Every structure is written in C-alpha cells, then in structure tokens.
Amino acid sequence: MENRANLTRFAWLSIAAALVTIGLKVGAFVITGSVGLLSDAAESIVNLIGAVVALSMLAIAARPPDEEHAYGHGKAEYFSSGVEGSLVFIAAISIAYEAVLRLIHPEPIEQVGIGLIIAAAASALNFGVAQILRRAGEEYDSVTLQADSKHLMTDVWTSVGVIVGVGAVGLTGWDWLDPVIALIVAVNILWTGFQLVRRAVLGLMDTALPPEELGRVMTILDDYKKQGVQFHALRSRQAGARRFVSMHVLVPGDWSIQRGHQLLEQIEADIRKEFPAITVFTHIEPISDPVSYDDTKLDRSRQGVKQKTPP
C-alpha cells in the first residue's frame, strides 16, 4: 500500500482549488450583487477551512503507531469528516440567512451574463477536483478525502442552483427567485453535512464493519466450520483505512499447540488476503470446555470461573 503520507498532495489540491474559486465567486458577486453568488463564495471559504483541516488530519493519520497510540493514528481522519460536516452545516445556515434577508429586502441583479460565466467556471473547477478526491478516497480508503470530495460536491450543487436562480432572474425579472433557489440549495447542503457528521460519529464510536465486509469474513470462516472448527465472540471495528477483527476459535481439546497455531495463522492469512489493511486477533479455546463459552459477550461471564484463593 502506498505511503499514506503522500495523500496530503490531494489536500493541497483542494486548498488550491478553494483559493481560486473564492476569487472567482467574490468577483462574480461584486459584478452582479446576487445573494446566491455571495452565499456560494461563503461556502468556498468554508471549503478552504475544511481543506486545511483535511491536510492536518491526513498528516496525523499517516503517522506510524507509537507507545501512546499502539493501534496507529487512523481515527484522526474521522475528526476531519466531523469538522467538514460541521462546516457544511454552517455554510447552509449562512446561505439560508442571507436568502431570507434578500427575500425580505429584494435587490435587482446586474450583469447576469458575466456573473454566470464566472460561476460556471468555478463550478467546473470544483467538480473536477471533487472527482479526483473521490477516486483517491475510494482507492486509498481515506475517510478524509471522501469527506472533502462530498464537501466540494455540495459546493458544485450550490453553484448549479445559484446559476439556475440567477439565470431565471435574468430571464423573468423575478428577483425573488434568487433567494428561493438559495434556500433550496441550503436544504440539500444540510443533508450532506448530516451524512458527514454521522460517519465521523460512527467511526469514533468503534462501529462494526459494514455488513457486506462482515459477510466476506463469515464466508472465509464458513470454510473452516466444515472442518469441525467453531467461532464466537467475533468483533470488528474500523479506524480510518485500517480494520480490526477479533474472534475466538474453538478446536478439539486434544489438538497440539502447534496444530492450533498453524490453524490460526492460516485463518488470519486468509482474512488479510481479503482485506489488505486489517489487523486480526485470534484466541484459541477447547471446544469441549464449558468455560470456553463464558466469553461470548463483551464482558466475560463469571459462571464456571473458579475463584483463586489468595496466597
């Protein structure tokens, strides 16, 4: 797998795109006076902040494990997703606020054609960068890049809405269309923000792997069950691009330590072959010992556990 420190180049690309689009959209607002274009520019400022946060979180997530973080720093990417989602919320609220003010106090839009050309150019730039980030996020399983891509796509949809609104105003002369379109776009952006925050919360709460991925693990284990091996206490979680799976493997009690060890090594190797960035923990137990079944839940049952007499 490619050194994840190299992923910061995508964050720098996002920062550069944000700076360019801010300049374009502010210029379009100055020319036209459109509240939609002003809101669009405000969201690009939020994009810039989000890209800077993404850059710092990618750098942290790429750090190797250390004594204080033995499982690595991958969860830092969830902070980026949460921050980006929160920033999207702020952008949506600011857009809605400006739109309501403009509904109350409508103002005419000037030089519509030039404003639309500038907004379209900014939107095309954001769309191209968003697709690059999306593909990189999927290829490297980066929560941060995927969140940044979705954030940029909200900016694209904002721009599309604004272009439609400003164009409609230019054709009809109905100034109220500009803020109405801005309100509709704000609602769409809120939904994207909710999804980003939700993903961050689920990651920080050690949510299990998706059902599709757990199904792939179970398919591997099913092959071993046909050999008389049993499993329980299967648990999983994800930290950024890295996955963690643990389980107890129950085998006949008369097996040698060497035979049991070889079985666990093969099981772990099969799972790693299916998921390159995964850490697998296995614990072997005798299938006929009742005590082996006291730890199927997170907190081990004390039934059947003999109390030791202190010396």
pLDDT tens column, 61-96? 777 777 888 777 777 777 777 887 787 788 778 778
Q: How far apart are CA 110 and CA 20, in angstroms?
A: 23
CATH number of 211-293: 3.30.70.1350
* pLDDT at residue 249 is higher than 80: yes
According to the model, what pLDDT value does residue 74 have? 75
> With contact defined as beta carbons under 8 Å apart, do 186 and 92 qualify?
yes
pTM over 0.85: no
Residues 6+ apart with CB under 8 A from 66: none
CATH architecture of 4-204: Up-down Bundle (1.20)
Which whole number is the average pLDDT over 276-301? 83
Give the pLDDT confidence of 223-235 residue by residue, as tens digits.
Answer: 899 888 999 999 9
Q: Nearest Cα to 251, choosing from 236, 263, 239? A: 263
Instruction: Compute the distance between CA of residue 133 and CA of residue 147 in angstroms, rounded to an integer.
Output: 9
What is the predicted pLDDT for the residue at 89? 81
Q: Please tell me the distance from the alpha carbon of residue 91 to that of residue 50, in angstroms, as a whole number.
A: 11
What pLDDT is stored for residue 297 in this prediction?
Answer: 76
Cα radius of gyration rounded to whole Å, the chain: 26
Span(s) in the chain for CATH 3.30.70.1350: 211-293
pLDDT band at 271; cut points 50, 70, 90: very high
The answer to whether residues 214 and 236 touch, using CB atoms and an 8 Å cutoff, is yes
Which residues of the chain form CATH 1.20.1510.10?
A: 4-204
**Separation CA 83–CA 307 (nearest Å):** 49
The helices-and-strands tally (H runs, E runs) of the chain is 8, 3
